[in-house]
A and B are shown apart, each in its own frame.
Chain A
Amino acid sequence: MTTMTRPAVHKRSNADRLRQGLASGKFTAVLILLPPALILFSLFVILPLADAAYYSVFSWNGYGTPSNFVGTQNYTRLLDHSVFHTALWNTAKLILVSLIIQMPLALGLALLVYRKTPTNTLFRLVFFLPYILAEVAAGLIWSFVFDGDYGITAFMFQALGQESVYVLADRQWAFPAIMTVIVWKYFGFHMMIYIAALQSVPKDLIEAAKLEGAKPRQVALFVQIPLIKHAIVVSGFFAIIGSLQIFDIIIPMTNGGPSNSTHTIVTYLYTFGLSRLNIGFGSAAAVVLFVLAIGIALFYQRATAKEERA
């Protein structure tokens, strides 16, 4: 017992001496090490977000100072714009597909490959590969797949003796095609999160369940999945926040078309805000995006916290 406490006391007095001795160097260190991060972050993250709120009440093309105050007019125009409704609805669809198709797919595959074997490692790398590719590259590759003259879908239609469908030029099929690519691109990311969590589930718990006669499906459902709930919550958060920001894949695939049917919030604010230099109007869309992201994050945090307590 005494040998346990003595070093502790020694340590504390050492720490006290430390604090005294370094009080002078402390502020120099803070003043040198902290400002670069604070300045960069304020200048390029916080200030632009505040600016977006400010610009959103002006009709402004981005040149000179904003002076044509229009109040909430940008917002009412936005909420009246049917393309913006489409963009919101498409974003909601992306969130749903991520939660209902992508996450269960990722979870199922994670359960199949989480054990550390050479073949599993290989499959894991393959499944994760699309995540590493640039969205633009993924979009272009899939534009080829869906091309009505050259692509793989065209080839399949012909093989079936059907007239080729120009998937990405078809109002009905363009967005489902985009959602397919998004699942393809991101399921590996979610799978990796689940794998990391599954590997930390104690082996004896699984063994115990098996000894009691649980089938693999039951082990997954009643032991493994409940124990990695935290990882699922986190991946759900990433899925939602990520869905809100989809941009890069849409641009090479459809650029928001055909007839504005595949816009998301971000392609909308880029197309109608920046490309046409309606900075005020685009900023209103940005504010909506911002509010949605924060709102969802807070709601999600509260909902999952409640569930964890229950």
Chain B
Amino acid sequence: MSGATTTRNTLRVIVLILVASLVIGPLLASFFGGFKSNAELRTNPLGLPDTWNAENYVAIFLDGTFWRYLGNSFLISSMTVLLTLVVGAAAAYVFSQIRFFGSKMILSYLLLGLMFPFAAAILPLFIKVRDLGLLDTYWAVILPQTAFGLSLAILLFKAFFDQLPRELFEAAYVDGCSYLRFFWSFTLPLSTPILATVGVFVFVQSWNNFLLPLVVLNDRSIYTWPLGMMQFQGEYLTQWNMILAFVTLTITPAVIFFLAAQKYIVAGLTGGSVKG
């Protein structure tokens, strides 16, 4: 009996290690590749570098455009998070706390975004953003991203607000608190867990977004990092060691962020899957 259990457990661990190495292998190859010469990459694409030569990494580190791409992405993602949290929470609060005619219909309307593929709107979005004179501005990315993130944000916020104790609201009323005041002084401060979850999720999506920036940003000084990375790849073409160093450096913040915020990311996933 226990013999069978041990065999099974050994088998389990072997399978897990095998899958894990298939998952991590390409990432490690990329990290190591950044230290190799192109000649070494040809003969040894996967293993440790012969000599740890950091000059590719240093070159990218000292290059201002790399930091500009990261800075642009950071600005756009932060603004998207801020706007999504404020606008989404405000709307969700209305649906959660205030009963008024038509509120259900308006809510269904705002949740339609859960079904719509973002890409189907990309051509008219380009036209719209251009007609608004926003091409090559941060807003060209921030506003549509926020709009498309709103449905999920409102859904998650409303579910959370619905569970806040009503007694609190009644007590606040006795003290003469208005809806607006209550939203600002009670609902928002009590909602930090869900604000963090939605915020992390929106941030990651915005940080990784490629299609929208590709379509609405032309000016290289305003490129986000995925665009910058494609640009870089175009310039260095087959200098794989440089490209791999660049990729490694740009995914590092994402990996660190993920390890720090994994709790909220997982919460967001399971929260999102509850909706059915």
Interface residues of A (CB under 8 A from B): 11, 14-15, 17-18, 21-22, 25-30, 32-34, 36-38, 40-41, 43-49, 51-52, 55, 62, 109, 112-113, 123, 125-130, 132-137, 140-142, 144-145, 147, 149-152, 154-155, 184, 188-189, 192-193, 196-197, 216, 230-231, 233-235, 238, 241, 244-245, 247-248, 251-252, 265-266, 269-270, 273-274, 279, 282-283, 286-287, 289-290, 293-294, 297
Contact = CB atoms under 8 A, between A and B. Distances in A.
Given A45-B148, A129-B27, A234-B276, A150 B45 contact: yes
B128 A47 contact: yes
Contacts of B262: 125, 128
B122 A286 contact: yes
B211 A247 contact: yes
Contacts of B215: 270, 274
A21 B173 contact: yes
B127 A245 contact: no
B233 A248 contact: no
Given A29-B179, A123-B20, A196-B270, A134 B116 contact: no
Interface string B257-276: 01100100110011001011
B152 to A, nearest CB: 12
A39 B243 CA distance: 41
Interface string B205-237: 001101100010000000001100110010000
Interface of B: 8, 12, 15-16, 19-20, 22-27, 29-30, 33, 38, 41-46, 86-88, 90-91, 93-94, 98, 100, 106, 109-110, 112-113, 115-128, 143-144, 146-148, 150-151, 154, 166-167, 169-170, 173, 178-180, 183, 204, 207-208, 210-211, 215, 225-226, 229-230, 233, 238, 240, 243-244, 247, 250-251, 254-255, 258-259, 262, 265-266, 269-270, 273, 275-276
Identify the 8 closest CB pairs spanning chains A and B, nearest first.
A44-B147, A51-B124, A29-B179, A37-B91, A134-B208, A48-B124, A48-B121, A196-B270
Contacts of B90: 32-34, 36-37
B240 A55 contact: no
B230 A251 contact: yes
Contacts, number: 288
Given A150-B38, A184-B26, 19 more contacts: A11-B170, A21-B173, A26-B100, A29-B180, A36-B91, A41-B150, A44-B146, A109-B19, A126-B20, A129-B258, A134-B254, A137-B254, A140-B247, A144-B243, A234-B273, A241-B117, A248-B226, A286-B120, A297-B115
A127 B127 CA distance: 39
Contacts of B128: 43-44, 47-48, 51
B123 to A, nearest CB: 5
Contacts of A231: 273
Nearest to B226: A136
B210 A248 contact: yes
Contacts of B91: 33-34, 36-38
Contacts of A297: 115
A225 to B, nearest CB: 16
Contact of B27 (A21, A44, A141): A141
B270 A193 contact: yes
Nearest to B5: A216
Of A32, A41, A283, chain B has the most CB atoms within 10 Å of the CB of A41
Interface centre among A51, A113, A144 (most CB of B within 10 A): A144
Contacts of A49: 116, 120-121, 124
B16 A150 contact: no
B148 A132 contact: no
A135 B87 CA distance: 28
Nearest to A19: B99
Contacts of B126: 62, 274
Contacts of B16: 109, 112-113, 123
A231 B274 CA distance: 8
28 contacts: A29-B178, A34-B90, A37-B87, A40-B143, A45-B121, A46-B109, A47-B128, A52-B120, A52-B121, A109-B19, A134-B207, A134-B225, A136-B230, A137-B251, A144-B26, A144-B29, A150-B45, A152-B29, A155-B45, A184-B23, A189-B269, A230-B276, A234-B276, A248-B210, A248-B211, A269-B119, A279-B127, A293-B117
